[in-house]
Amino acid sequence: MKILIVDDEAMIRAVIREYVEFEGGEAVEAADGMEAVNLCKNQTFDAVVMDVMMPRLDGFSAVKEIRKFSDVPVLMLSARGEEYDKLFGFEIGSDDYVTKPFSPKEVMARLHVLMKRGKNARPADVYEFGGLKVDLVGRNVFADGRRLVLTPKEYELLFYFVQNEGVALSREKLLSEVWGYDFYGDDRTVDTHIKMLRGNLGEYRKYIVTLRGVGYKFEVC
């Protein structure tokens, strides 16, 4: 395994490196997010351990950049344990989150899970419909090779449609599955987001079919 360790604290990088090398792996270090992005562009890694608070380019911004071209598994490290930070990390494409101070053994255990999950899930979680490519693991959507920038909810809607291709989905079903059972919305919430999603999909908006009196269906003719 080849792990990229990104943290502005040399001591933390050294500790994780020791555990990676103890297991026979290779560790590459970066002191900030900008260096991490450049390394990911030029090398292939099995996983990335990414600190959040760093100079030049923070961890969240670095993950956003990396997700533009790679679906490498990312484990975030942060001294900030607020739920908002964790949710935001997941929304931008990180795969797991560990709060400092941490156990190096836990970090390694989580990395093994992410790498195993990535190898098993990645091929089955990339869908192509003509010129539309949807990468569920990397949270990337491409139209004719151009990466689309969607809101988190638009990503979730499209991913749910893709995973349920050909299935008639009511607005109530979409509300419960995409927004959650505790979301107090109405049909207009779904319609508004689908209108925005269609606008971003361009010519591929045709795949989201309106079923009058029922809801919607993702259908590729």
- Using pLDDT thresholds of 50, 70 and 90, give the confidence band for residue 146: very high
3-class DSSP state of 100: coil
Indicate whether 91 and 6 sit together in one domain. yes
ω into residue 73 within 30 of 0, thus cis? no
Average pLDDT, the chain: 87
CA-based R_g, the chain, Å:
19
Q: Report the number of distinct structural domains present in the chain.
A: 2
Same-domain pairing of 14 and 114: yes
Burial label, 67 (beta-carbon count in 10 A; 0-12, 13-18, 19+): buried
67, 101, 121 — which closes off a domain?
121
Per-residue DSSP letter, 124: G
Which residues partner with 28 through β-bridges? 4
- Where does the pLDDT of residue 113 fall: very low under 50, low under 70, confident under 90, or very high at 90 and above? confident
Same domain, 94 and 179: no
pLDDT-derived band at 120, boundaries 50, 70, 90: very low
Q: Are 187 and 135 within one domain?
A: yes
| Alpha carbons 141 and 139: distance in angstroms, whole number | 7
What is the rounded distance in angstroms from the CA atom of residue 82 to the CA atom of residue 166? Answer: 39
Average pLDDT over residues 118-124: 49
pLDDT tens-place string over residues 52-103: 999 889 999 999 999 888 888 999 988 776 666 777 777 788 888 888 888 8
Beta strands at 47-51 and 2-6: parallel, antiparallel or unpaired: parallel
Note the pLDDT tens digit of each residue in 71-82. 889 999 887 766
Q: How many CB atoms lie within 10 A of CB 144?
A: 11
How confident is the model at residue 112, as a pLDDT? 87
Q: Do 96 and 181 reside in the same domain of the chain?
A: no
Task: State the pLDDT at residue 188.
Answer: 78
Q: Both 84 and 60 in a single domain?
A: yes
What tens digit of pLDDT does each residue of 155-207 get? 989 999 998 889 999 998 888 888 775 555 566 788 999 999 999 999 999 99
pLDDT of 147 > 60? The answer is yes
pTM: 0.55
Structure tokens belonging to residue 161: 């449609």
Q: Verify that 107 and 30 share a domain, yes or no.
A: yes
Same domain, 116 and 134: no
Q: Quick one: 114 and 131 in the same domain?
A: no
Among residues 121, 136, 151, the one where a domain terminates is: 121
What's the average model confidence in pLDDT over 138-154? Answer: 89
Helix (H, G, I), strand (E, B) or coil at 211: strand
Full domain range(s) for residue 87: 2-121
- What residues are paired with 142 via a beta bridge? 133, 147
Asked if 218 and 166 touch (Cβ cutoff 8 Å), the reply is: yes
